[in-house]
Amino acid sequence: MLNVATSTARRLCVSIAGATPAEALALAKESEPIADVIEIRLDSMTPPDISPFLNGLSKPLVFTNRPVWEGGNCADEEIKRIGLLKKAAETGAAYVDIELKTDPTLVTELFAAARANNCQTIVSWHDFKCTASRQALTEVFQGQCRSGADIGKIVTTARCFQDVFRVLALQEQAAEMGFPLIAFCMGPLGMISRVATTDLGGYMTYAAPDNGPATAPGQFSASALRRIFTELGHGD
């Protein structure tokens, strides 16, 4: 059976994608009363910056610099892209998110910087087209476990309800391995998984800022998802 999370484990991360650091910071500040964690999408802003968020926000921050090849906007060389995440880890980020497909040498360097600065690492894998087979998802999960990251993240696109079941079922493997996992589906059919995942052991779920753009298809607004949690007795 899938493990059911305790109420203290239900983390709501608001994902911020502003065109400029100032715009992103304003959205992040508006989201602070609702969020448990705030994700800063460095790949969305020009120029990407880190210090305004570390200096201007009090909630734990995830810094992500998603490359074009995994659905993001960063087209920089990999050394430069990962260099920004390394800087975030060294200067106060609570988490950095790095893709499973990233060059292993760069991943090792980022993880070393994170460990030295008490920053947790999230290794992520996204599929914006569909949901892979159970076996393929298990292989992705096992690769994340072997990566040395603190937390895994597997996000797919649901085309039917069976896709949702397969992704949420990964939480059973995660519980058996003792490896924290973020797992849910994008798209309209995946919206229920964004609500259910933390009750099934998921480390965290993601929402869009109330007055800003979504960073993935099927995201609830932060206030809407918080209201759902409250109605379900998940706390304020």
Question: 52-102: per-residue pLDDT in tens?
Answer: 999 999 999 999 999 999 999 999 999 999 999 999 999 999 999 999 999
Q: How many domains, the chain?
A: 1
Q: Is residue 177 in a domain?
A: yes
Residue 9: per-residue pLDDT? 60
Confirm whether 2 is domain-assigned.
Answer: no
Query: Which residue in 29, 86, 87, 126 is the catalytic one?
Result: 126
Structure tokens at 147: 């990566």
Task: Tell me, yes or no, if 153 is annotated catalytic.
Answer: yes
CATH number at residue 212: 3.20.20.70
Indicate yes or no: pTM above 0.85: yes
Catalytic residue among 29, 101, 129, 153: 153
Q: CA 86, CA 96: separation in Å to the nearest integer?
A: 8
Residue 234 known to be catalytic: no
Residue 236 lies in a domain: no
Decide if 3 is inside a domain: no
At 183-221, the pLDDT tens digits run: 999 999 999 999 999 999 999 999 999 999 999 999 999
| Structural domain contains residue 22 | yes
Q: Can you give the residue range of the structural domain that contains 38?
A: 8-231
Residue 217: which region, alpha, beta or left (left: phi > 0; alpha: psi -120 to 50)? beta
Q: Is residue 1 assigned to a domain?
A: no
Indicate the average pLDDT of the chain.
Answer: 94
